Copies of this chain bind each other. A is one copy, B any other.
């Protein structure tokens, strides 16, 4: 039984790789930068996208695919920020797969977009194993979750190309240590950058916007 389970898991992941490779080709044809956003529930993924939309759209073409077990709430919030959003409801599903993204893709105007954000299901474990054909995985952490999260969720950290550490405005009311957080990140992946931001207080967002614009420009220069 255990063997069959492992075999099937391998099969599911290799099928996912195939679909992700197919997605990557489509994204490349459209010179579209794709960012897979991973985090715990409530780290502020949707708020970061709202702020990004308000600051950069429509000068920068932004499209969003949002994964949630239930509700259309996040897609509605993002649409209210002036950006098209497609909601995928996974029901009990703990992550987005490349197949789910491929199925949602006909609803996304790939030619109008410079960057596609895929807001994954709020879960620091399972989404880390599924390639969605993205250029970059961004892990959003948040101060009230505690400084021990990198050490406790190394799979997500290893997948990450960038960490955005949100809610730094709450640091004075917690025992969060920026040093402990950074030390643990460094131990796991020394090349991994951490951008400190507060979405609600609009602190540090400029660094995130710059990172994003640089990556879009690099992707568009590739052809």
Contact = CB atoms under 8 A, between A and B. Distances in A.
A99 to B, nearest CB: 10
B8 A152 contact: no
> What copy number does this chain have within its complex?
2
B155 A69 contact: yes
Given A124-B123, A173-B169, A70 B154 contact: yes
Given A8-B4, A142-B144, A155-B92, A125 B69 contact: yes
A68 interface: yes
Contact of A71 (B12, B152, B173): B152
A124 B122 CA distance: 8
Interface in A156-196: 167, 169-170, 173-175
- Per CB-CB distance, the 7 closest pairs between chain A and chain B, nearest first, are A42-B145, A144-B144, A94-B125, A40-B41, A42-B146, A40-B40, A94-B126
Interface of A: 1, 4-5, 8, 11-12, 15, 40-42, 68-71, 73, 92-94, 121-126, 128-129, 142, 144-146, 148-149, 151-155, 167, 169-170, 173-175, 200
14 contacts: A5-B8, A8-B8, A40-B122, A42-B142, A68-B152, A69-B152, A69-B155, A70-B154, A71-B151, A92-B155, A123-B123, A144-B144, A144-B167, A170-B174
